[in-house]
Structure 1
Amino acid sequence: MELNLIQNIAIWALPVLFAITAHEAAHAYAAKKFGDPTAFLLGRMTFNPIKHIDPIGTIVLPLLCVLLPGGFLFGYAKPVPVNFEALRNPKRDMRWVAAAGPLANLAMAIIWALIFRFATGALDGNAFQLPLALMAQAGIQINVVLMVLNLLPIPPLDGGRILVSVLPNHLAYKVSRVEPYGFFILIALLATGLLGKILAPFMHLVMGFIQLVL
């Protein structure tokens, strides 16, 4: 089904906002639980999407991806500030704070999958069936993409933080030095088309897991 510009925006807007909000809020809640109140004190421990929106990463970039045929969906929010030194056990707790975001996206993907099942079942023939089903599909996709993307072992992505937290100190230090270049590595992978190829098999695994638990 071919959607026009307004329909595409209507379908994707809420799933994208919910996905980035859940991801960043989860980081903030985990950080506070493990001893760092920075995000809480800055008002970032909230499910209010306005607090997490980055004009370019949350609005412009996803919109371009939706409008470009065959484009890979990509976007980001304002990162939640975490003072890792304030955590009770910085190296150990870092992995849980980092993992909280992708886990929140997994939970959101499962919720959207349940909504999709409801839309295609209980709402059969209802005028809201198709729009809700399309929105649920978008919700599943954006959350699975964000989960898998953020688990790439490239600092400052969550997967890079997790990797640093589990490696011996001398190796962790070497990996952490990649952080200033992490965003450029990601853009290069995106521009060359390698990013989609890297993520695709892991996305299929996550999709299979979601189908299994439902």
Structure 2
Amino acid sequence: MLTNLREILVNLTTGFLAVILVILPREYVKAYTITKLGDQTPKKLGRLSLNPFVHLDPIGTISFILFNFGWSRPVPTIPLKSSKLKKSLLITSIIGPVFGIILFVIYGIITRNIDNRYLFLIFYKATKWSLTYAIFSMLPIPPLDGSRFLSAFLPGEYIEWYVKYEVYGILFMLALLFIWILPLVMSPFVAFIENLTNFIINGGG
């Protein structure tokens, strides 16, 4: 019983720390990019921060630990403040997935050189979740990056409406999670990414 309890605690703590490694650098870079593009909303709302707790979404974090995919709190942005609206939307929607792939490579290299089991589990999970989130975030469900990528191609008069109703996308995503549709949709991606991660860390040379 004590062994099982210890394994549960190890799984929870390594999972939580891995989520921080996935979310913190990604969301900070997104907030920094949005700010540099002229929208000061992330800075004003405290999201241009290295404090992981301002970026973590409670349900998204639990989903990472239980289902091997999840999400963070969306970086707040008001794209209509940018004079180059469509360019701004494209950049901010692509930066998250691209940086997720970069983290996947970096964490994979680090994981290959770790001997400590606890640290290995943290970086192993961070490796595969970085790529999983890069793929998951491209779904066209607000406020995921895929929805902002899609909105960059909408007529200007529809973009404000699209961004305004992001909160309903979050509720829709939670509903899909609780009725098990999201886990079913993501299952083949999660399995593929886990196999790819294992190959890179253990058998890719």
Q: TM-score range by the shorter chain?
A: 0.7 to 0.9
Percent identity among equivalent residues?
Answer: 27
Match of residue 138, structure 1, among 102, 125, 128: 125
1:172-211 paired onto structure 2 within 5 Å: 179-203=166-190, 204=192, 208=196, 211=200
Q: CA deviation at 1:96?
A: 0.9
Q: Which of 98, 101, 105 is matched with 1:106 structurally?
A: 101
Structure 1 unaligned regions, length at least 5? none
Contact 1:108 1:143 in 2 (8 A): yes
Distance, in Å, in 1 between the alignment partners of 2:34 and 2:184 is 32
Separation of aligned partners in 1, 2:92 and 2:75: 11
Secondary structure in 1 matching 2:123 = helix
- Is 1:45 the equivalent of 2:32? no
Over 3 Å counting, the alpha-carbon distance change for 1:173 and 1:10 in structure 2 is closer
Name the CA shift for 1:171/1:23 in 2 (closer, same or farther; >3 Å): same
In 2, are the aligned partners of 1:108 and 1:140 still within 8 Å (CA)? Answer: yes
Contact 1:106 1:144 in 2 (8 A): yes
- Give per-residue Cα distances to partners, 1:122-153, cap 9 Å, x unaligned: x4xxxx2x223222221123222322221101
1:95 aligns with 2:90: yes
Instruction: Note closer, same or farther for the CA distance 1:58–1:172 as it changes in structure 2 (3 Å cut).
Output: closer
In the superposition, relative to structure 1, how do residues 20 and 117 fare at CA in structure 2: closer, same or farther (>3 Å)? same
Q: CA deviation at 1:110?
A: 1.6
1:22 matches 2:17 = no
Question: For residues 75 and 206 of structure 1, do their structure 2 counterparts lie closer, same or farther at Cα, with a shift above 3 Å needed?
Answer: closer
The corresponding residue for 1:57 is 59
The answer to whether the Cα contact below 8 Å between 1:22 and 1:101 also exists between their aligned partners in 2 is: no
TM-score in terms of structure 1 length: 0.74
CA 1:171–1:188: 2 relative to 1, 3 Å: same
Question: How far is 1:168 from its partner?
Answer: 4.7
Contact preservation (8 Å) 1:148, 1:199: no
**Cα shift at 1:206:** 9.6
Question: Hey, what's the Cα distance between the residues in 1 that align with 2:59 and 2:82?
Answer: 28
Aligned residues of 1:31 and 1:87 also touching (Cα < 8 A): no
Q: CA deviation at 1:172?
A: 6.2
> How many Å apart are 1:178 and its aligned residue?
6.5
Q: Who is 1:162 aligned against? A: 149
Q: Which residue of 1 aligns with 2:16?
A: 13
Aligned length: 197
Per-residue CA deviation, residues 102-138 of structure 1 (Å, 9 max, x unaligned), is 222222222211112112xxx4xxxx2x223222221
Whether contact under 8 Å (1:163, 1:172) holds in the other structure is: no
Paired AA for residue 160 in structure 1: S
Are the equivalent residues in 1 in contact too, given 2:100–2:131 (CA < 8 A)? yes
CA distance in 1, matches of 2:9, 2:109: 25
